[in-house]
Each structure stands twice: as structure tokens, then as C-alpha cells.
Amino acid sequence: MKRLLIALVASSFLTVPMVFAQPIKAFEVAQMKERHVEKRVYAHGSRKVVEKHVVVKKRWARGHRLSPSERRRIAAVNDYRRYKLRAPPRGQQWVRVDNDFLLISVATGVIVNMATR
């Protein structure tokens, strides 16, 4: 009886972590990308040339942290009233990425709020 009890306790220590172990998908929604393919067809001499241009657009989400390289490529919005955005609180700033406005924390780069125009 003692051996059976010890075997059950030992097996529970092995099976419980396997039950709770799942792949972490913290920013799965934030990392989703929209893919759009533009085709341009033009005649080059006697042959037809098809040029494909793939546009990948990131979908932003609250809580997503912008990397330093992403933060260098985006433009800060100083005239936020022009775009009918509220004044950013201390330590935050509005930035524009394509046609999306993101309110980010200056110190950490975490997205606090979003607005689309």
C-alpha cells in the first residue's frame, strides 16, 4: 500500500507540469500581419512583365512593446489636436505609423492606446 501511494505521488509530480505546459503566445494578436499583393503589368518591348509587390502591414495591440528599431522608424506627432487626439499624459507620446496613431510610453515603448484615421 505504501509503495502504491509513493508511486501515485511521484507520477503526479511528473504529470502536473505536462498538463499546464502550453506554448506561450503573449503577443500573438499583436504579431498578426496582413498581407496584400499588388500586381503591376506593363509591356517591355515585345514581352509582358508582371511585377509583384508585397505589402505587409502589422496589426498593433495594446501592451505590445515596440523594439528600439521600430521606435527609430516612426514619426512623433506633436500637433495631436490637428488629428483630433487627446493630449498625451506625462511620459507618453503619440506616434504615427502609416495611418495608425499609437500612444506609447516614452520610457518603455509599450503601446498604451491606439487610434486609426
CATH of the domain at 36: 3.10.450
pLDDT of residue 19: 61
The predicted structure's pLDDT at residue 61 = 84
In this structure, which amino acid lies at residue 64?
H
At residue 90, the pLDDT reads 94
DSSP 54-113: EEEEEPP-TTPBPPHHHHHHSEE-S-GGGGT-PPPPTTEEEEEETTEEEEEETTT-BEEE
Number of domains present in the structure of the chain: 1
Q: What percent of the chain has pLDDT over 90?
A: 21
pLDDT in tens, 2-52: 888 888 777 777 776 666 665 545 444 444 455 555 666 766 666 776 666
The range of the structural domain enclosing residue 72 comes to 26-116
In a domain, 34, yes or no: yes
Residue 7 lies in a domain: no
Pairing of strands 47-58, 100-105: unpaired
Please give the grid coordinates belonging to residue 88.
498625451
